Amino acid sequence: MKKAGNLQESQKSMGKETETKQKNTITRASIDHARARDARSKEGVTITLNGASAFAPKGTSIIPAAKEVGVLFGCHQGACGVCKVQVVSGGELLSPKEASERRMTHKKEERLACRCVVQGRAGEVVLKNVER
């Protein structure tokens, strides 16, 4: 009888461990699902420069994301040209050029990062440093 009792206790213990593991798995899966849902709910673009990427929300300046990937900034007002970059792709996701940008950039694909605002809901803007 004692062996049967030990076997039953062992099975109960294993059952509890399995139940706990299932609960933990469900919890992790729920958390992963929630994170994926939250990421999809954010509108904005990924700013990429030299393989580094950062997220910029729709309706905001790309300055924080551009700084994160290595774009240099000076005045932040479109007057110095330090933040001049070439938009390799995704330019349609950004605001149109302002007058200050048109004066400071000579090529269509050049932009002043400090003057760019995200207008696209989703996508990637690939930037390249402009040689000075």
Residue 25, pLDDT above cutoff 90: no
pLDDT at residue 100 in the model: 84
CA distance 14 to 20: 10
Residues 6+ apart with CB under 8 A from 17: none
Q: What is the mean pLDDT of residues 1-6?
A: 57
CA distance 88 to 54: 16
pTM for the predicted model, two decimal places: 0.66
Interval 62-93: pLDDT, tens: 999 999 999 999 999 999 999 999 999 999 99
Q: How many other C-beta atoms are found inside a 10 Å radius of the C-beta of residue 68?
A: 16
The helix (run of H) or strand (run of E) holding residue 13 is helix 2-41
